[in-house]
Chain A
């Protein structure tokens, strides 16, 4: 992205954050109403439960240009649907380990538990994730050139 004022090319990663409706999305709300900031390049997608996210969502996000994907849900034990996030935990542990096995940088994927009361944690997590991915650079390994071509 071109910085208009300085003309410097600065990499701003696209981050997709899947947030569960009951905890993490509310956490993001709290962060906002508490005037805590997190980078604007985090795009939040609200899901009913973190376990709604299947691997296809994660891969599609990367295909469409995401440089990092983060999943946020209720803390284990606090799931609105009682057990959803326990399944998420197993699925994503396996998926992210597997993506890394295929050579995708492990820093590009993350799971964090953020409750509705943790506005500050939401902000801190997002800031940290964006910083990590910015340092890592553009996602070149799990991306679709045909999408980028259309830029």
Chain B
């Protein structure tokens, strides 16, 4: 294990940036999100939750796919993909790291999404353990250890130092590039921080959420539960929960007319929107209750039933914090999970 003094972190970022792109939580116009690092940028590793999740780095909100250029009766198809430069995603929390596993199962499954894969292959992930989890966190419910995330490199942060532990080949390579900045040591400090954090994690209000009813065999019962009406009645049908979610993966493909052709792009879509999966005959889900139910059934029942029980919620709590009307997956789990009636 290595360590580096906090005041020298800028040198670390600069060193990484010499040969690779660096995505890191940066405060811009008051909000912390993942941005490309540059000298003078306000890095905020202390921020527990970026507004948007790091999924942007390999599944951007909007991505150009191809161009059609028209000249007379001729149409040329132009591949707009550029060579992906290797990049480092720095400061990924345990929940967001788990979310990448959820996304991988969707995009890397046959047929492989080559746009996603190109970015995924170019990425080296440096995760950062949590030391100050908050009330909306419930990653432990999904078996995630916030104090020891995986990734190519795992890092821990305390008042004075950033600790660094390479886990994979890619991680070792990255460590090799920056090792001149490091000193050895830190095992003790990390261990004591982990223990402290674990006592907080155990006390978090959502640490005891009960997921036992969310199983494929209960699909019909859950789907038909009358509680969906009251759970969803305040839902505005906005896309906040889906767009801040680290595991939401739905996208729409659209064409944009340029001067001499068409630009085909894809962009995130939200199952909360009225035009989601709109077809010639209309929409398959016509009420907000149905859309609301779809989102949570997908996360807690449909996805796990196709992926060996892996839930597509990782307990990051972003939707808990950001829903304008304070609806969220925890209220769903508690209401339908039966805990409230006990």
Contact = CB atoms under 8 A, between A and B. Distances in A.
A touching B, CB within 8 angstroms? yes
Interface stretch (B97-105, B234-242, B254-262): B254-262
A65 B257 CA distance: 13
Contact of B263 (A65, A146, A151): A146
- Chain A binding surface SS class: helix
A65 B261 CA distance: 15
Contacts of A148: 259
A148 B261 CA distance: 11
Prevailing SS type, chain B contact patch:
strand
Interface in B245-268: 256, 258-261, 263
Nearest to B80: A149
Contacts of A146: 256, 258, 263
A150 interface: yes
A59 to B, nearest CB: 16
A147 interface: yes
B196 to A, nearest CB: 48
B69 to A, nearest CB: 8
A151 B259 CA distance: 6
Contacts of A147: 258-259
A67 to B, nearest CB: 15
A75 B287 CA distance: 49
A151 to B, nearest CB: 6
A148 B260 CA distance: 10
A65 B259 CA distance: 10
Interface string A54-71: 000000000001000000
A150 B258 CA distance: 5
A150 B256 CA distance: 11
Contacts of A149: 258, 263
Which of B256, B259, B261, B263 has the most chain A CB atoms closer than 10 A to its own CB? B259
Interface string A138-151: 00000000111111
Interface of B: 256, 258-261, 263
Interface of A: 65, 146-151
Given A149-B263, A150-B258, 14 more contacts: A65-B259, A146-B256, A146-B258, A146-B263, A147-B258, A147-B259, A148-B259, A149-B258, A150-B259, A150-B260, A150-B261, A150-B263, A151-B259, A151-B260
16 contacts: A65-B259, A146-B256, A146-B258, A146-B263, A147-B258, A147-B259, A148-B259, A149-B258, A149-B263, A150-B258, A150-B259, A150-B260, A150-B261, A150-B263, A151-B259, A151-B260
